[in-house]
Chains A and B, each alone.
Chain A
Amino acid sequence: MNKRLPVLLLTAPSMIILLGVFLLPMLLMFLLSFENAQESFSFENYLLFVQDPFYVEILWRTIRVSLWTVLTTLVLAFPVAMYMAQATGKMRGIITMLILAPHLISVVIRNFGWVVVLGEGGWINQMLLSLGIIDEPLRLLYNELGVVIGLTDSFIAYMVLAIATSLYAIDPSLSKAASILGASRVRTFFTVTLPLCVPGIFAGVTLVFSLSMSAFVTPALMGGTSVKVLPVIAYEQIMSTLNWPLGAALAFLLLGSTILLVSAFTKIVETKRYKEVFAS
């Protein structure tokens, strides 16, 4: 009984802060989202997503951009994680540092860097033009591609570290065992290494997906006015249009769809076998 008192006392400050600045505002926002222009209760704001094609397209775009980001980070991160897993401890440290180093710089500045690089006058387009590979500059910015590039840069570190951590945990003698039983290196990868780092992939995918769904700065800077995603629209409604109820509804829609998709993904991944093998 008296064991719980110290726990209660120690957690009380953070609990109060959490309650005051997180849960309470959330609740107020939630109630606010059901208000219409006449300040009475209605589902009007939420019905927009069923009735107005503009908002439906924005929801789809947000999900689409996030899925592409997940896919590109996954494909790019895997080889890096594989390399880290077989490197020495010192090399692992160096690579981890290199991966995290860009995060020391504000995301705003990094995104402006991309704007300079990817723009029509940026060195990528200039080089391709002067080599004669293209006749007119490629559009790498202010479209979904630009947003995916920006988000990939922002979140790839999470994917690398999540996968690398699960690769570290694999006993290296397992690939030796597969090899002596007759499996080539490719075969060993697909039958042993890949299945065993599913928890890492799962963690990386969930993390990058949630972060991409709620990302604001990168889509705002690299998507421009033509490819707006949910967080950007919500921001506009609250800050420019001052339509707080609609902004709140947009935010909860974003939250709801992220939770829904992540839980659906979890359901698919966590098969009976997965639970038997990886549950601690």
Chain B
Amino acid sequence: MTNIVEVKGLKKSYKEFEAVKGVDLTIEEGEIFGFLGPNGAGKSTTINMMSTIIRPSSGTAMINGYDVVKQKNDVRASIGLIFQEQTLDVKLTANENLMLHCKFYGIDKNKREERIQEVLEIVDLTDKRSNIVETFSGGMKRRLEIARGLLHYPKVLFLDEPTVGLDPQTRNHIWEYILKLKEKAGITIFLTTHYMDEAEICDRVAVMDHGELIALDTPEALKNNVGGDIIEISTEDNIEAKKRIEKIYETDVTESDNKTLTFQVSKGSEFLVNFVKEFDIPITSVNLRRPTLNDVFLHLTGREIRDETLSKKDLAKQQMRGRH
């Protein structure tokens, strides 16, 4: 397997502020690689450097064997980009948007028709081909952008928060398309997200926080690192219970919403049987689950990634999308 992406010591500073503080990573051909992190972590900045949009302050990135600073145009021809913000011309039809893209990328005249049909089929927009994009819903616009990003058969497809601001159903649809793509075209996919469930489908995930990669592994391995299973309990006296569990089992207990105590143990089911029998503060509820990437993030940083709730920044983004 060859490395289609090689990034070494990639940094970006804005004046004093270091938005990305030195990222190293390699991605193999055909991988789905996820970039997970909270708002402002530096995900977009990294993706923008890798896709020649902004110039790194230092470090190198090679895409498909080309340098993102010295061989911009070769890199651009090798990648497809779906930006965090919408970048369609909403006054034109879907077909016109796609046709222009073909021309921008110098796709053979006699291949255009076939390619446009092909990508529209992948995203289920064949019947909307001659409609003005202004009349599309948010999810349809997103799918059209994905279709457009695929037109020139990129080696690497960059997706910056492809599903932000979309409802869960549409999100699922878009993921189906992306997986279909991987199977059909063998494209390497690099995506950023702050939704945990989206990161789960990646072959490997890099966790980014404050401009640094704080972990990089398969979702499974990351979850195993958390240290076994997660136990969530509530009791009649959480404060006392927390103290005791920490003392007896020598594990960190976190309390969320003043109701639930969460901690990790290595063999969840066996632990639970004895725990419920032995623990002398009355337990009102108990739950055992496998760790999620959210736990991974919590474990690494001591903070939670806000999963479903939309932050102010997200809402602003949604409004930007709806503006056209």
- B is bound to A: no
Seen from chain A, the residues whose Cβ lies within 8 Å of a Cβ on chain B are none
